[in-house]
Amino acid sequence: MKKIALIVMVLFVMTWVFSQEDVIHKLQLDSYDLQWQIQGEQIIITLKANTVGWISVGFNPSRIMKDADIKIGYVDDQGDVFFEDHFGNSMFSHRKDRGGNEAQNFHVIQGSQQDEWTEIQFSMPLNSGDENDQILDLQEPVKIIFAMGYGDNIRAKHFNTDSATIVLQP
Ligand code: HEM
């Protein structure tokens, strides 16, 4: 009897844990739409922004853009996705994470462009261990910054930015 009760309890806890991880969270701003889902040590992110140029999301800047873990990319006219892992190396600039391909901590799942909106879905570790990335604590407030450009040149400045501070939660 005790064994059955234990099995039921384990199944209950497992169901709770998995249902928590299945939750798709959403943050909707005027020109940006962010959806995310926690899967173990990874976060799956769908970033959508109102442009056919480059789009970007950044995590936990210390000031404006500085120190943010920036993920940036675009979908070209052939539908191919270009995406890079950057960081805010000053309040008004960013550069590719140091350390070559090893420091490019993301995996692109898909990307598309439709009706003046670009969407890129990718996964990244909550804690990559890379000094140019930020550790995402699911219980603590995280500042998220957004930016977009007119064209596919990720070196060009944004024409629009936004930000929000939220708790990511499992
Ligand atoms: C070459 C690329 C970039 C340049 C030259 C640049 C430059 C600047 C400058 C000069 C500002 C000050 C305010 C303004 O003039 O709008 C700023 C603000 C900002 N940037 Fe960037 N930026 C670049 C890319 C990015 C990227 C990739 C992000 C990614 C999320 C970003 C997010 C922001 C945010 C959130 C602000 C704050 C806006 C505000 O507080 O009103 N920027 N940037």
Answer whether 65 contacts ligand 1 (Cβ < 6 A): yes
The token duo for 168 is 């990511």
CA of 161 to the centre of ligand 1 (A): 7
**8 Å CB contact between 60 and 142:** yes
The pLDDT assigned to 13 comes to 47
Q: Name the band, by pLDDT with cuts 50, 70 and 90, for residue 22.
A: confident
Ligand 1 pocket: which of 87, 158, 162, 165 to mutate (most atoms within 8 A of CB): 158
Domain regions of the chain by residue span: 25-167
Cα dihedral 164, 33, 31, 97 sign = positive
Work out whether strand 42-49 and strand 32-39 pair parallel, antiparallel, or are unpaired. Answer: antiparallel
Alpha carbon distance 124, 45 (integer Å): 8
Architecture of domain 25-167: Sandwich (2.60)
Top pLDDT among 147 and 16 is at: 147
Q: Which residue's alpha carbon is at the smallest distance from atom 14 of ligand 1? A: 92
pLDDT at 6: 53
